[in-house]
């Protein structure tokens, strides 16, 4: 039975990934989340979709390195096949500019925290030479933009980290996938303008799984963002600075 | 504000969208929304029953978790945003199916209850809410009610077919029916008169679970159509094909269905289907949900959108009223390929505002040609009125208030169960609030 650990299991993207996995085969899920009530509902949903599904629920302080290390060691007692690190918050950029503690929290929860989790998994997977770490980054991490550069900086950190981890495991059995979703319609983004034109979370989840299945190193989902971000990354500063993005 | 259109695409009014994503906080969100609001599922209602221009829509699609399923009893409990497609896909392989399903599976459980939808097996299994055992309702005053056929029965009857106007459904328990697999034994029989259609319908009801017919609304040589009937098949040895996914990726500047293309389409379809008569084994998807394989098929009617006119007339008037309506439609040169004629059985409806009654229902799409189309509907209304029939609100965008009141004699009683914080474009048009 495949052992899949999901960090941030109540995120809409992670939940939809879990559904696809559960419908596809019998899995053991270790679900790590803050909101246990919500996590229990996800557990019931997964077990109803596939009665052979097993779920274990875990709570942890997402910014405490010792707690993360302890939990991931414990969870990895059963070797982990896939670790999906999907937690995060999307604060208002302006609020980050005004409130340094919010700025710090944004950097920690979207940047340092996923890195700590990935590092904890890497430590467990390396000796076994087995496992797949999937990190949810963001197109926001590709180039700093005034509309969300604090969040973007945290995601940029994850991008660079994933690159290093991929380099480290290049010749081993451990795989690392960095998924960079474009704007997706989830409860996290519902307050944003144009939220209605965002990608459907069900489609995004399907493509995340595809990226993991095909062992891709980096995957933009939907794929059109690979092109859009390539253009944005290469725009000369004079043009870029005139854009309101 | 976000522009939202209903399935008929007649208008695209702006709404404030509020996503409900957790049943824990949904009641608070509902209670704290200001101004008239309306629950919104997958937006498959044709007319204005799912619209609330300038107001709020509570999107329920993210409330899509399954809560429990017993493979002994077949009882499924789920949140209201679950699609019927999800239930069918997950549970048919495990031997259970929705007992009643409409012509699309891309609707939410909440929407199926709010419209008390029916299917091809009405004569055998009634409508959707006949199989809903319990539902949980949240009201804008913060109250929560558990309704079933034993508790809060009046609330249950008001919510079944209540067009979302009695509160927001937080969960529902549905009694599923055993399924022997995804296949059906089906038979298509061409018919050449209404008498023949009614004979086939009456004759099939005892032996066949599903009956429906396609009717050619343009045929100049009397009535013609294809009668289809089906029964679950125990076959399990046939491999399931991957369904083709088609899509209409753009909105054509004018309706693809018009007075030139329509008779041609219909004639080709009739002759093609007439050659495929006899018993076949068919997968449940093309049999129940033929249009679900074409994404955005509603765009075929062009920028102006389309109306669907679905009515039912009591058995006593079924022959004459149907003939008169078909004559009017034929004379007008309007209509579309999508024309369905089907009989309903004699069953006590589960909801105060349920649409089905014993008799015959005719459903037709009409490309929107403004006054020309509305004038035709007035003539059809007159026939419905004289025959003591009614029009289906889930499809409606224009019926006169007086016809609604005549068709739904429980309306006054229903109004007592309305949630004062909820209203829709349809409820304001037909009840004033």
Task: Tell me, yes or no, whether B204 and B114 share the same domain.
Answer: no
Chain A interface disruption, residue of B16, B17, B21, B136, most A CBs within 10 A = B21
Cβ contact B24–A190 (<8 Å)? no
CA gap B277, B254 in Å, rounded: 34
Of B17, B24, B62, nearest to A196 by CB-CB distance is B17
Do residue B65 and residue A42 have CB atoms under 8 angstroms apart?
yes
A200 near B CB under 8 A: no
Handedness of CA A148, A150, A151, A153 (dihedral sign): positive
CB B41 within 8 A of CB B426: no
Residue of A nearest to B86 (CA): A49
Asked if the Cβ–Cβ distance from B67 to A41 is below 8 Å, we say: yes
Q: Is A49 on the interface with B (CB under 8 A)?
A: yes
Distance from CA of B153 to the nearest CA of A (A): 28
Residue by residue, what is the 3-state secondary structure of A25-53? CCEEEEEECCCHHHHHHHHHHHHHHCCCC
Distance from CA of A164 to the nearest CA of B (A): 36
B197: Cβ contacts below 8 Å, ≥ 6 apart: B191, B213, B215, B223, B225, B227, B341
Residue B299 backbone phi and psi in degrees, to 5: -75, -15
The reply to whether B119 and B229 lie within a common domain is: no
User: What residue numbers bound the domain in which B150 lies?
Assistant: 66-179
| Higher pLDDT, residue A63 or B274 | A63
> Tell me, what DSSP letter sits at residue A108?
I
A44 touches chain B (CB under 8 A): yes
- Separation of alpha carbons A15 and A34, rounded Å: 14
Helix or strand (DSSP H, E) at B246: strand B246-247
| CB B62 within 8 Å of CB B21 | yes
Q: A131: which strand partners? A: A174
- HSE (side-chain half, CA atoms, 13 Å) at B309: 26
Helix (H, G, I), strand (E, B) or coil at B247: strand
Q: Is A45 on the interface with B (CB under 8 A)?
A: yes
| Residue B410 burial (10 A CB sphere; 0-12, 13-18, 19+) | middle
Q: What residues of A are in contact with residue B40 (Cβ under 8 Å)? A: none
Beta-bridge partner residues of B340: B214, B363
Residue B78: CATH number of its domain: 3.30.465.10
Rounded Cα distance, A30 and A76, in Å: 10
Q: Selecting from 3.20.20.70, 3.40.50.720, 3.40.50.10490, 3.40.190.10, what CATH number does the domain A2-240 have?
A: 3.40.50.720
- Does the CB of A12 have a partner CB in chain B at under 8 Å? yes
The position carrying tokens 């599923």 is: B176
Per-residue model confidence as pLDDT tens digits over A111-125:
999 999 999 999 999
- CATH code for the domain of B333: 3.40.462.10
Does B259 share its domain with B290? yes
pLDDT value of residue B201:
97
Q: Are residues B202 and B218 in the same domain?
A: yes
Whole-number pLDDT of residue A212: 98
Q: Which residues of B touch A43 (CB under 8 A)?
A: none
Cα gap A150→A155, rounded to integer Å: 9
Domain ranges of chain A: 2-240
Nearest-CA neighbor of A33 among A54, A19, A52, A12?
A: A12
State the total domains in chain B. 2
Contact between chains at B2 and A196 (C-beta distance less than 8 A):
yes
Q: What share of chain B is helix, strand, coil (3-state, %, to 5)?
A: 30, 25, 45
Kindly state whether residues B332 and B289 are assigned to the same domain: yes
Average pLDDT score over residue span A199-209? 96
pLDDT of residue A187: 81
Angle between helices B318-332 and B371-386 (to 10 degrees): 170
Chain B positions in Cβ-Cβ contact with residue A51 (cut-off 8 Å)? 71
Predicted local confidence at residue B189, as pLDDT: 96
Q: What residues 111-140 of chain A have any CB closer than 8 A to a CB of chain B? A: none
SS3 content of chain A, % helix, strand, coil (to 5): 55, 20, 30
DSSP A183: S
Inter-chain touch A49–B90, beta carbons under 8 Å:
yes
Optimal mutation site among A45, A188, A202, interface B, most CBs of chain B within 10 A? A45
The answer as to whether B198 is a domain residue is: yes
CB A198 within 8 A of CB A184: yes
Tokens of A211: 């990226």
Residues B104 and B211 in one domain: no
- What per-residue confidence (pLDDT) applies to B217? 86
Tokens encoding A94? 């302006």
Query: What pLDDT was estimated at residue B245?
Result: 79
Do B259 and B386 share a domain, yes or no?
A: yes
Please give the ipTM for the structure prediction. 0.92
> Inter-chain contact A190–B71, Cβ cutoff 8 Å?
no
* Residue B139 placed within a domain: yes
Residue B83 tokens, joined: 């699609």
Find the closest chain B residue to A36 by CA distance.
Answer: B24
Across the interface, whether the CB atoms of B68 and A44 are under 8 A apart is answered yes
The answer to whether B33 and B421 are in contact (CB under 8 A) is yes
How high is the mean pLDDT in each 10-residue block of chain B (433 residues)? 94 94 96 96 97 97 97 98 98 97 97 98 98 98 96 98 98 97 95 96 96 90 92 89 82 88 89 87 94 92 96 97 95 88 96 98 96 97 98 98 98 98 98 96
CB contact (8 A) between residue B90 and residue A23:
yes
CB pairs under 8 A between A and B: 34
Q: What are B356's two structure tokens?
A: 């089905």
Q: Which of A41, A49, A187 sits opposite B19 (nearest CB)?
A: A187
Pairing of strands A54-58, A27-32: parallel
Q: Examine the pLDDT at A160 and tell me if it is beyond 90.
A: yes
Optimal mutation site among A48, A50, A204, interface B, most CBs of chain B within 10 A? A48
B21 → closest Cβ in A23, A187, A195:
A187
Strand order in the sheet with B56-59: B2-3, B14-19, B56-59, B37-40
Helix (H) / strand (E) element for B226: namely: strand B225-232
Chain-chain contact of A44 with B19 (C-beta, under 8 angstroms): no
Residue of chain B whose alpha carbon sits nearest to that of A191: B18
What sign has the CA pseudo-torsion A44, A49, A52, A53? negative
pLDDT at B150: 94
DSSP B54-97: TSEEEE-TT---EEEE-TTT-EEEE-TT-BHHHHHHHHGGGTEE
Nearest chain A CA: its distance from B2 CA (Å): 7
Spatial distance between the Cα atoms of A105 and A36, rounded to a whole number of angstroms: 21
- Best mutation site among A18, A23, A34, A41 for testing chain B: the one with the most B CBs within 10 Å? A41
Give the residue from B350, B347, B353 showing the smallest Cα distance to B416. Answer: B353
pLDDT digits (tens, 9 = 90+) for A21-58: 999 999 999 999 999 999 999 999 999 999 999 999 99
Contacts (Cβ under 8 Å, ≥6 apart) of B418: B165, B166, B427, B433
The residue among B407, B409, B431 whose CA lies nearest residue B420 is B431
Inter-chain contact B21–A37, Cβ cutoff 8 Å?
Answer: no
Cβ of residue A172 closer than 8 Å to a chain B Cβ = no
Mean pLDDT of chain A: 95
Q: Cβ atoms within 10 A of the Cβ of B163, count?
A: 26
CA distances B173 to A47, A120, B93, B129, Å, are 17, 42, 20, 10
Cβ A51–B71 below 8 Å, yes or no?
yes
Q: Which of A155-169, A184-198, A231-245 has the lowest mean pLDDT?
A: A184-198
């Amino acid at each position: 039975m495949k052992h899949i650990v999901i960090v941030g299991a109540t995120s809409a993207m992670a939940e939809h990934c879990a559904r696809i996995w559960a419908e596809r085969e019998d899995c053991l899920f270790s679900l790590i989340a803050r909101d246990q009530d919500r996590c229990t509902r996800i557990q019931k949903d997964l077990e109803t979709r596939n009665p052979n599904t097993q779920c274990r629920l875990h709570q942890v302080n997402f910014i405490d390195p010792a707690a993360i290390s302890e939990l991931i060691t414990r969870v990895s007692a059963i070797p982990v096949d896939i670790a999906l690190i999907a937690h995060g918050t999307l604060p208002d950029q302006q609020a980050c500019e005004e409130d340094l503690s919010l700025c710090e929290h944004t950097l920690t929860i979207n940047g340092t925290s996923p890195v700590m989790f990935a590092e904890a998994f890497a430590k467990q997977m390396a000796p076994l030479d087995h496992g797949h770490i999937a990190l949810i980054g963001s197109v926001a991490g590709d180039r700093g933009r005034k509309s969300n550069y604090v969040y973007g900086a945290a995601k940029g950190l994850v991008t660079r980290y994933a690159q290093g981890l991929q380099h480290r495991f290049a010749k081993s059995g451990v795989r690392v996938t960095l998924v960079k979703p474009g704007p997706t319609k989830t409860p996290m983004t519902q307050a944003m303008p144009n939220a209605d034109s965002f990608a459907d979370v069900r489609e995004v989840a399907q493509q995340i799984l595809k990226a993991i299945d095909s062992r891709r190193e980096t995957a933009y989902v939907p794929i059109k963002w690979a092109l859009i971000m390539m253009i944005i990354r290469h725009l000369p500063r004079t043009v870029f600075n005139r854009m309101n993005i | 504000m976000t522009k939202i259109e209903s399935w008929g695409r007649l208008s695209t009014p702006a709404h404030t969208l509020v996503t409900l994503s957790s049943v824990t906080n949904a009641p608070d969100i509902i209670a704290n929304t200001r101004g008239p609001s309306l629950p919104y599922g997958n937006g498959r209602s044709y007319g204005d029953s799912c619209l609330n221009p300038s107001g709020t829509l509570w999107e329920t699609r993210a409330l899509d978790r399954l809560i429990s399923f017993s493979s002994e009893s077949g009882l499924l409990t789920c949140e209201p945003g679950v699609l019927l497609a999800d239930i069918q896909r997950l549970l048919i392989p495990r031997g259970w199916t929705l007992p009643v399903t409409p012509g699309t599976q891309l609707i939410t459980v909440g929407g199926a209850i709010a419209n008390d939808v029916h299917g091809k097996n009405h004569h055998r299994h009634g409508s959707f809410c006949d199989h809903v055992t319990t539902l949980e309702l949240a009201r804008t005053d913060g109250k929560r009610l558990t309704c079933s056929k034993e508790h809060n029965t009046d609330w249950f009857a008001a919510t079944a077919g209540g067009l979302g106007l009695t509160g927001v459904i937080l969960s529902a328990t549905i009694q599923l029916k055993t399924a022997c697999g995804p296949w059906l034994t089906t038979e298509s029989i061409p018919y050449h008169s209404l008498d023949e259609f009614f004979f086939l319908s009456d004759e099939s009801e005892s032996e066949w679970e599903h009956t429906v017919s396609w009717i050619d609304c343009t045929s100049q040589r009397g009535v013609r159509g294809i009668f289809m009937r089906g029964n679950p098949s125990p076959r399990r040895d046939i491999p399931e094909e991957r369904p083709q996914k088609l899509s209409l990726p753009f909105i054509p500047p004018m309706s693809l269905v018009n007075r030139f293309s329509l008779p041609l389409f219909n004639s080709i379809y009739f002759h093609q289907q007439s050659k495929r008569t006899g018993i076949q084994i068919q997968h449940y998807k093309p049999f129940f949900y033929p249009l679900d394989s074409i994404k955005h098929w509603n765009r075929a009617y062009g920028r102006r959108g389309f109306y669907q006119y679905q009515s039912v007339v009591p058995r006593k008037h079924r022959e004459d009223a149907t003939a008169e309506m078909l004559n009017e439609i034929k004379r007008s040169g309007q209509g579309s390929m999508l024309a369905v004629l089907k009989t309903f059985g004699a069953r006590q409806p589960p909801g105060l505002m349920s649409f089905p009654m014993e008799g015959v229902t005719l459903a037709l799409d009409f490309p929107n040609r403004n006054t020309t189309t509305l004038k035709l509907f007035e003539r059809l209304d007159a026939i419905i009125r004289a025959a003591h029939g009614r029009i289906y609100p889930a499809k409606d965008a224009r019926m006169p208030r007086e016809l609604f009141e005549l068709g739904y004699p429980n309306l006054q009683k229903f109004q007592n169960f309305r949630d004062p914080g909820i209203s829709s474009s349809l409820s304001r048009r037909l009840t004033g609030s």
